[in-house]
């Protein structure tokens, strides 16, 4: 058993608490990882807020991390102690009908136990003050050591800087993949990206790499426009600057609508606007943002009857074990940006400040 520091969420709506936790050794087909770097994501904040129906407490959150394999359980063959890895919240077992289908990246092998906050055998590897602590998204990267299933880990280039590539565990991969895998943006197309946070910037990067000729960024926070343009946005607008709905504004700007739109906020009203901003006949709108539990999307069926397509994406459509090492290689060879997404680097004990900065849009 390893004793180490972890940020524990004892209950919903309360700040994280830095505690000493015990991390049990990995069982069969499990991997224990020394986490070197982790990022904070809105999904962690969403669960911490209490709005997540799958949220269970007390829990160690975190799902964008990178580290070094410390030890492996019986039967683990893909990684060994000392390997550099990224934990994966969408695993890839290679055996389930989802993994065998090229149309999806949603491996379902450990979905039920992962959703309940436990390892595949139904138990937790974390304890603190004599209490069992739940796992989160199969990763729990807000701990100096974590245990994951062996199908939830990708071995990556040992030379990669972990404080940067940890972002490929969620946000950057999700946005980039939404553009290149889910929407399959074509050269010369016109795109609109709603929400210019980390995921939105990654969508813009993907649209640019795919050769889009016009990329319109949409956000209420104008402080985000300069960064969006660095990533490839050709122009940025705020819905507050117009009297009419943003979908009408976009239709006028683009002679009938955009070829591709992306919702990167998790707001069902914006999801509708994003669909309706698409061009009749061929426009495709991709939902990337995660809306709160119980919310529903709506539009007039005629929007779809007249040729628009509504899609969604999880982790950008990447089959994780196969794709994450390739994304790291793309970053190392300068094909995709990663460093530019990092605004602040804080010590682990300032994790609550990191969440505050995220909430204020910094």
For residue 310, what are the domain limits? 174-314
Q: Does 142 share its domain with 257? A: no
Q: Does 302 share its domain with 340? A: no
pLDDT at position 51 is: 85
Q: Does 131 share its domain with 37? A: yes
Helix 351-359 × helix 42-49 angle, to 10°:
100
pLDDT at position 54 is: 81
pLDDT at position 311 is: 98
Structural domain includes residue 33: yes
Contact indicator for 260, 279 with CB cutoff of 8 Å: no
Phi/psi for 10 (5° steps) reads -70, -35
pLDDT at position 64 is: 97
Q: Does 196 share its domain with 261? A: yes
Sign of the CA dihedral 228, 233, 234, 239?
negative
Structural domain includes residue 359: no
Structural domain includes residue 30: yes
Chain segment 300-349, per-residue pLDDT in tens: 999 999 999 999 999 999 999 999 999 999 999 999 999 999 999 999 99
pLDDT surpasses 90 at 139: yes
The band of 292, judged by pLDDT with boundaries at 50, 70 and 90, is confident
Q: What is the mean pLDDT of residues 79-103?
A: 98
Structural domain includes residue 224: yes
Structural domain includes residue 357: no
Structural domain includes residue 264: yes
**Closest residue by Cα to residue 143 from 28, 24, 19:** 19
Q: Does 263 share its domain with 123? A: no
pLDDT at position 53 is: 81
Q: Does 126 share its domain with 189? A: no
Q: Does 102 share its domain with 49? A: yes
Q: What is the mean pLDDT of residues 91-110?
A: 98
pLDDT surpasses 90 at 2: yes
Q: Hey, what are 317's tokens?
A: 């459509």
Q: Does 290 share its domain with 332? A: no
| pTM tops 0.85 | yes
Q: Does 263 share its domain with 219? A: yes
pLDDT surpasses 90 at 110: yes
Contact indicator for 143, 7 with CB cutoff of 8 Å: yes
Structural domain includes residue 358: no
pLDDT surpasses 90 at 189: yes
Chain segment 212-236, per-residue pLDDT in tens: 999 999 999 999 999 999 999 999 9
Query: Domains in the chain: how many in total?
Result: 2
Structural domain includes residue 362: no
What CATH number does residue 64 fall under?
3.90.180.10
Q: Does 249 share its domain with 270? A: yes
Contact indicator for 185, 260 with CB cutoff of 8 Å: yes
Q: Does 210 share its domain with 244? A: yes
Q: Does 199 share its domain with 130? A: no
Phi/psi for 146 (5° steps) reads -140, 160
What CATH number does residue 200 fall under?
3.40.50.720
pLDDT at position 164 is: 98
């Amino acid at each position: 058993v390893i004793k180490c520091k972890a940020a524990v969420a004892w209950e919903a709506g309360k700040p994280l608490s830095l505690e000493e936790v015990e991390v049990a050794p990995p069982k069969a087909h499990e991997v224990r990882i020394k986490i070197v770097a982790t990022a904070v994501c809105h999904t962690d904040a969403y669960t911490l807020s209490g709005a997540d129906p799958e949220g269970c407490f007390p829990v160690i959150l975190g799902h964008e991390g990178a580290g070094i394999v410390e030890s492996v359980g019986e039967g683990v063959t893909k990684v060994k102690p000392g390997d550099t890895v990224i934990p994966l919240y969408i695993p890839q077992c290679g055996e389930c009908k989802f993994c065998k289908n090229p149309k999806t990246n949603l491996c379902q092998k450990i979905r039920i136990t992962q959703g309940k906050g436990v390892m595949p055998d139904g138990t937790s590897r974390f304890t603190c003050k004599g209490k069992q602590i739940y796992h989160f998204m199969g990763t729990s990267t807000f701990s100096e050591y974590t245990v994951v299933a062996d199908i939830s880990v990708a071995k990556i280039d040992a030379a990669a800087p972990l404080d940067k590539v940890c972002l490929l565990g969620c946000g950057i991969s999700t946005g980039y993949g939404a553009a290149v895998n889910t929407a399959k943006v074509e050269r010369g197309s016109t795109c609109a990206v709603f929400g210019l946070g980390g995921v939105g910037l990654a969508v813009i990067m993907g649209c640019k790499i795919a050769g889009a000729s016009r990329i319109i960024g949409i956000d209420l926070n104008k402080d985000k426009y300069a960064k969006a343009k660095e990533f490839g946005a050709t122009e940025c607008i705020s819905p507050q600057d117009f009297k009419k709905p943003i979908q009408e504004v976009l239709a006028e700007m683009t002679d009938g609508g955009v070829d591709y739109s992306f919702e990167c906020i998790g707001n069902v009203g914006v999801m509708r606007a994003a669909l309706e901003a698409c061009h009749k006949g061929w426009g495709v709108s991709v939902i990337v943002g995660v809306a709160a539990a119980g919310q529903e999307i709506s539009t007039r069926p005629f929007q779809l009857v007249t040729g628009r397509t509504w899609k969604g994406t999880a982790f950008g459509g990447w089959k994780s074990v196969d794709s994450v090492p390739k994304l790291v290689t793309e970053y190392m060879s300068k094909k995709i940006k990663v460093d530019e997404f990092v605004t602040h680097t804080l010590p682990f004990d300032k994790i609550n400040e990191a969440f505050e900065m995220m909430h204020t849009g910094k």
